[in-house]
Amino acid sequence: MDDNKNQGEAPSIKQQLVETLRGADSVVITTQDTPGKDAFAAAIGLHLLLEKLDKVAEVVITADVPSQLQFLPADFINKELQGQRDFVIELDQSRAEADSLKYVNENNTLKVYITPYNGSFTGDDVSFSYGDYHCDAIIDLGAHEASDLTEKVTGEQKLIHNAAFLLINPGPGGPGSGDALN
């Protein structure tokens, strides 16, 4: 049994990582904008581990995979955040008010039925947009502080505010040092 908690000491990076991943369903893994080969390999390995744990994991690395690592499975690495996010259907109600809404999933097609209270709707009344990303944790391999996070991830402020951060770096604390930020 680990006595760190009993002695009032901060949890180790290993404990922070385990607790963060245990509570997360969706994880974004990223690196610095110019990661080394170790960061690439670690991101790939962490992604594969999270998949085995039935977690949704996305790797976002803006750089190309180094030629020395082309043999590793890396087809899941994205240069931009793709992530799970809401698809929002918007209905202009300026000419007609919606009375009821239902949806039916038929043959891999989701049909949304909107019954007007008065008037009628046309195709011009409907538009769509995207909502917030759904992410429980962001793991950055190589960042020393939150400001080091890659712009591809930090540009999504709503994601940042809702996710736990774990920064793992080989900095002055030695390999495996890092911080958890909530």
pLDDT digits (tens, 9 = 90+) for 68-78: 877 887 788 88
| 147 and 79 together in one domain | yes
Q: How many domains does the chain have?
A: 2
> Count of CB atoms within 10 A of residue 99's CB?
10
| 148 and 65 together in one domain | yes
pLDDT, one tens digit per residue, over 90-99 is 999 999 999 9
| 24 and 63 together in one domain | yes
Contact 116, 98 (CB under 8 A): yes
| 150 and 70 together in one domain | yes
- Those residues whose C-beta lies under 8 Å from the C-beta of residue 98, and which sit 6 or more positions away, are 91, 114, 115, 116, 117
> What pLDDT score was predicted for residue 172?
54
Q: What are phi and psi of 40, to 5 degrees?
A: -60, -50
> What pLDDT score was predicted for residue 1?
47
> Count of CB atoms within 10 A of residue 43's CB?
25
Instruction: Extract the residue ranges of the chain whose pLDDT is less than 50.
Output: 1, 3, 174-182
Domain residues for the domain of 104 are 87-130
| 27 and 79 together in one domain | yes
Alpha helices in 105-176 (DSSP H): 151-154, 157-162
| 95 and 153 together in one domain | no
pLDDT, one tens digit per residue, over 36-77 is 888 888 899 999 999 999 999 998 888 787 788 778 877 888
From residue 99, alpha-carbon distances to 72, 114, 115, 128 in Å are 54, 7, 6, 20
Instruction: Confirm whether 65 is domain-assigned.
Output: yes
| 105 and 42 together in one domain | no
Q: Which helix (H) or strand (E) holds 127?
A: strand 126-134
- Those residues whose C-beta lies under 8 Å from the C-beta of residue 134, and which sit 6 or more positions away, are 26, 83, 84, 85, 86
| 169 and 153 together in one domain | yes
